[in-house]
Structure 1
């Protein structure tokens, strides 16, 4: 089956964060954000594969395929690197096709992550949930594997903010609350390289709180991420494994008394 060669590529990368201790603050509870449209339809672990002679994942006979359900307008990150639980050996290559057999995204090496793993970021342009097909292969005709492919789905609640005098995100913050499920891995970021759609201007700070018995308890924070050296140094990235189903609040601020702004995104995995 012949595939169209025209591409629409969107590549995102990033990894690494540090959780800093901080004091709990008092802020009002907000409405939880809705969960990803397609999350209930498919496990976020995709598949394992090994391959060879794939012609950079273009040889249909030798690639390893996986059907993926993506919701209307949903943004996903799919990779063999960066996302928790991913694994690659050798030089992987990923291609994504829509239901019309048209290639809509691809990635060879995750730029700025300085490794041979692959990471695709893609936003579905369709108004309904659709089925896509992922082709997993290797660069050129090399062999690669075993590889583990994971997917992260962006929450529809994306918010922008600007702040000043937030005392490292402890006062005067912009807050959003999300309903999260136990054992989910979440990525919360203002770093565009770590999370597609995120943005940071200035030195951002993010904090995460969990609602326990009506009170907000501080569970994670990040002020500077090493997701991409020289590109995202003052942006923030929290990676957190949810211990129990419930409400969790993201509080966005700035370092010390500085002024900053950003767009915060949360990916569920």
Structure 2
């Protein structure tokens, strides 16, 4: 599933091609994704978008009447192409612009979403989200306070969007390794000092991944078709039974919260 850096990369790639352009047509080829595709999207014909931003793993494409809220799901991709080019299999949604280009959303597994948020309102899926990990609202002090009543594994806690958004499986594993924290350690047993380390490394890992264009997974490519390169720099994720780059111990794999977790038994306590 695309994580925060992949969504940020997609948003950054799309922005120059879709912001400030007038929409001439909206085509819904598959009305049922994770939720029904917002019929309000068709009312965007004739409008010009003002901006696109990311909130957690959602992209909010802003217009004068509201925002189109888009989620890539597990396998979704967005690309800008000539409006005259042939549709691909699983192209479910299309926005055509006055310069004869088109934004197309392709999603083989159909877990993505195209929703509508009226101006001045906040969708339920966005209303209970925690702070952005790269914002000033997220730091070690906040994280330590947020974990005080959480007895479960620290890895599950930092992947909870109510605690902090967008820290998915890959980046949680990498940040915990860099912080020297075992992924199964009880969240409320992580000291303030270690929470400060962890918050800092979450920011570092995410910023580096965004700079590298996201992590290449089976289903993710950037809007221009090129892959992200952060996967080449992973310390533990996907490296089970290989030696730790830091100490030489063998990287372990364990299922935590129904997700595969990777860690160094020597470096992480």
TM-score range, shorter chain: under 0.3
Higher helix share: 2
Identify the structure with bigger relative contact order (alpha carbons < 8 Å, sequence gap 6+): 1
Question: Which one has the largest radius of gyration?
Answer: 2
Q: Return the structure number with greater strand share.
A: 1
TM-score (norm 1): 0.22
